[in-house]
Amino acid sequence: MLHISVEQRRVRLVRRHRLSTDTAAASVDQAAESVLALHATDPATVYLSALVRCPDAGLADVAAALYEHRSVVRMMGMRRTMFVVPAHLAPVVHSAASLAIAKRLRTRLVKELRTGPTDPEMDRDVDEWLADVEDSTEEALLARGEASANELATDEPRLRTALLPTTDKAWDTKSNITTRVLTLMGAEGRIVRAEPSGSWFSRRHRWAPARQWWPDGIPAVPETDARVALVRRWLEVFGPATEADVQWWTGWSAGVTRQALASIDTVPVDLHGTEGLVLADDTEADDVAEPSAALLPALDPTPMGWKEREWFLGPHREPLFDRFGNIGPTVWWGGRVVGGWAVHDGQIVWRLLEAVGSDVESAVAETAADLTARLEGIPVVPTFRTPLERELSR
């Protein structure tokens, strides 16, 4: 069996994820391509993940790629997670992941509208009613060109239909369906998240018709073909890896994962005692990149790319993850995590978690100073706080 060492995997990671000076991305689009898609659960992650891979980019360049050039698009994808995807890959992600999520979202919403108390009460077929609300909402959005959730609910008052509590639990409160309907329409590819209201790290995104991106709708890709294309691209970026890594990242069942992998030409590989797989045409070792420090943000797609992370994380999990499995800001050297960082009073502060030598410390300090300047004094705070990030930010 082919053997790929931990060191070889780290070399691949640095080069393919553009984490060194001589492999840096030339554009925001290229930065997104290098990791397949940028993690977007935390809006700030999109900007920071692009900046650390593209040293010539600024905050305005990321915004331009998202909202002016539309070369990358924000969409719900794998594991019901928000991603920013290169526009040409959006049809693949849409068919391989988003549509299945949309189906589950619709089933749940229809069930709650049909069986639970609502205000006003449902007096007609729920499926037909919801479809009519969606059509009306899309028409309102086409007329406006872009709108907030509140503006759409003004145009289509049925979006304010409320689901009423069924228990006396504190968490069981009255809630309207506006966000759920818009999220469903987004997952189905009818509308897309546009520029946020407020700052670039705001969660309050406006909405735009998907026809502004795709006049004839998102190109249709057969689901099976899309799954195969997505996994093959994932292996190009993250391979070699285990089947468990693929299943975790996609959020698919074991059966669906194996079916997709069976259609791809792979070879088994020994990953330091665990059997993994790699593309049959990608078994050659990558050239070693120039040693460089990298400061990756919370939920960056690199550390979130694998289920099994020991080979690059080492013993540093406890201070760098929250209790739900979300990783915080990390300091990297040579394809492995060596510390963490945070923003305090507009400045990036960092801490190494192991002895790495004065040269590495100097490189980290220089990288931190450069990123601090590019953040333009904005105090970025991750949505999911981790122990080390909390400590450093104080």
Encode pLDDT of 21-36 as tens digits: 999 999 999 999 999 9
pLDDT at 169: 87
- pLDDT above 70 covers a percentage of the chain that reads 100
Does residue 206 sit within a domain? Answer: yes
Does residue 116 sit within a domain? Answer: yes
Q: Phi then psi for 44, rounded to 5 degrees?
A: -65, -30
Residue type, 115: T
Does residue 141 sit within a domain? Answer: yes
pLDDT tens-digit map of 132-169: 999 999 999 999 999 999 999 999 999 999 999 988 88
Residue after which a domain boundary falls, among 212, 244, 273 = 212
Q: Count the residues in the chain.
A: 394
Residue after which a domain boundary falls, among 194, 212, 230 = 212
Does residue 366 register a pLDDT over 90? yes
Does residue 282 sit within a domain? Answer: no
Number of C-alpha atoms within 13 angstroms, CB side, residue 135?
6
For the stretch 213-221, contacts whose Cβ atoms lie closer than 8 Å and that sit 24 or more positions apart, written own/partner, are 213/70, 213/73, 213/87, 213/90, 217/189, 218/90, 218/91, 218/94, 218/189, 219/91, 220/91, 220/95, 221/91, 221/92, 221/94, 221/95, 221/96
208 & 297 share domain = no
Confidence category of residue 96, pLDDT binned at 50, 70, 90: very high
pLDDT tens-digit map of 256-289: 999 999 999 999 999 999 999 999 999 999 999 9
Does residue 60 sit within a domain? Answer: no
Range of the domain at 111: 98-212
pLDDT tens-digit map of 74-83: 999 999 999 9
Q: Phi then psi for 186, rounded to 5 degrees?
A: -65, -45
pLDDT at 198: 81
Number of C-alpha atoms within 13 angstroms, CB side, residue 188?
17
Which residues lie below 8 Å from residue 157, measured CB to CB, with a gap of 6+?
none
Residue after which a domain boundary falls, among 188, 212, 236 = 212
Does residue 299 contact residue 45 with C-beta atoms inside 8 Å?
A: yes
Instruction: Determine if the peptide bond prior to 120 is cis (ω within 30°).
Output: yes
Does residue 263 sit within a domain? Answer: no
Does residue 61 sit within a domain? Answer: no
Number of independent structural domains in the chain:
2
Q: CA angle, 392 as apex, 389 and 394 as ends, to 5°? A: 110
110 & 208 share domain = yes
Structure tokens at 39: 């993690």
Does residue 113 sit within a domain? Answer: yes
Sheet holding 347-352, edge to edge: 293-296, 330-333, 336-344, 347-352
Query: What's the mean pLDDT in 353-371?
Result: 96
